[in-house]
Homo-oligomer: A and B are copies of this chain.
């Protein structure tokens, strides 16, 4: 049993912590196999160790999967559990990824769900293009 006072976030297993720390250090998106390679020295041997850790981290909102990159990125919002819907804005040149999460995003998703009579479970919103910096080169 866990008697330690904490901030409300669930305890993470060793593997989950390793993956989380790595994603936070790198800050950009990493593929599952990049994560595996980076964590070999920490004892990772197989993809499933990565995927299982990611599954947990995604379920608690600390990591997101960027579908169009088949990659994973640490949540930039102190965890999205509360905030709900986010969008990713991806520069195809410098590969920088911004995570955007504001009222307009969740409003849009809510409206879309109503309009299509859907009970929404999950959304992926990803915008590719050139970031401010890369447009002017």
A interface residue numbers (CB < 8 A to B): 67-68, 87, 89, 91-92, 98, 100, 104-105, 108-109, 111-113, 115-132, 135
Cβ–Cβ < 8 Å partners of A115 in chain B? 100
CB <8 Å contact, A89 and B118:
yes
Q: Would you list the 10 A-B pairs with minimal beta carbon distance, nearest first?
A: A117-B132, A67-B67, A121-B129, A120-B129, A124-B126, A119-B130, A122-B128, A89-B116, A118-B129, A108-B108
Chain B residues near A118 (CB-CB < 8 A) = 89, 91, 127, 129-132
**Quick one: which of B87, B120, B121, B124 contacts A112, CB cutoff 8 A?**
B87
The answer on a CB contact under 8 Å between A123 and B128 is: yes
